[in-house]
Structure 1
Amino acid sequence: MSVEGTWNLVIATPIGRQQAVLRLFMQDGALHDVATGEAEEVPLTGLECHGDRLTWRQSITKPMRLHLAFDVTVTQDALAWRPPTASPRWPRPSAPSTAAPT
């Protein structure tokens, strides 16, 4: 299954739902990315795809400074994940995080 494409993310966070766009593409035989949020574009690190599982880490500074780790299950038309790990203080969100291809 290919994860290539542009994905609209809605992430439930302690300060409300945050929107981002994740663009995944193959270049020189490797998976690459562009992640754009409300006020910044950030690189993903450790981007790996194994079967239907996609993992990565990213650091953001807006709306607050966080270092996040994502572990995502990929289906044809959705990404599903548990809340990203950030710190022990990150509460469980009341609404799920979602992603859909554009």
Structure 2
Amino acid sequence: MANADGQWDCVTKTPMGEQKSVFTIVTNGDTFTGSNDGPTGKVDVIDGKIENGVLTWKMKLKMPPMTMDATATVDGDTLNGSVKVGPLGTMTMIGQRRA
């Protein structure tokens, strides 16, 4: 897997339209920490793992209160993933590494 560390300009395609955010990733071996800062505020990465080139993590929204499950892969300066948002289903998340 390409180096995932850094800040990513992301777009998540939701039923309410495209939601832009800045996703920060800090890897440490097969785990990572970070946050996603978007229109609903900043949420921390919970239980970030890297296995076979796939990032998996959780994020907890305060409003509305729900836990999101996410996965992504990194190819160079491109991030491709998805976020499962409770009853709203699974949404596509794409990102470009910030320079």
Report TM bin, short chain: 0.7 to 0.9
Is 1:67 the counterpart of 2:80 in the alignment?
Answer: no
Q: Report if aligned partners of 2:9, 2:23 keep a CA contact under 8 Å in 1.
A: yes
- Identical aligned pairs, as a percentage? 18
Query: Alpha-carbon deviation of 1:33?
Result: 0.8
- Number of equivalent positions: 97
Which of 91, 94, 97 pairs up with 2:93?
97
Let me know the Cα RMSD of the aligned residues. Answer: 2.5
Query: Alpha-carbon deviation of 1:26?
Result: 4.2
| In 1, Cα distance between equivalents of 2:54 and 2:60 | 20
Higher strand share goes to which structure? 2
- Structure (1 or 2) with the larger CA radius of gyration: 1
| In 2, Cα distance between equivalents of 1:34 and 1:80 | 17
TM-score normalised by L of structure 1: 0.76
Is 1:86 the counterpart of 2:82 in the alignment?
Answer: no
TM-score normalised by L of structure 2: 0.78
User: 2:34 aligns to what?
Assistant: 33
User: 1:14 aligns to what?
Assistant: 15
Q: Report if aligned partners of 1:4, 1:23 keep a CA contact under 8 Å in 2.
A: yes
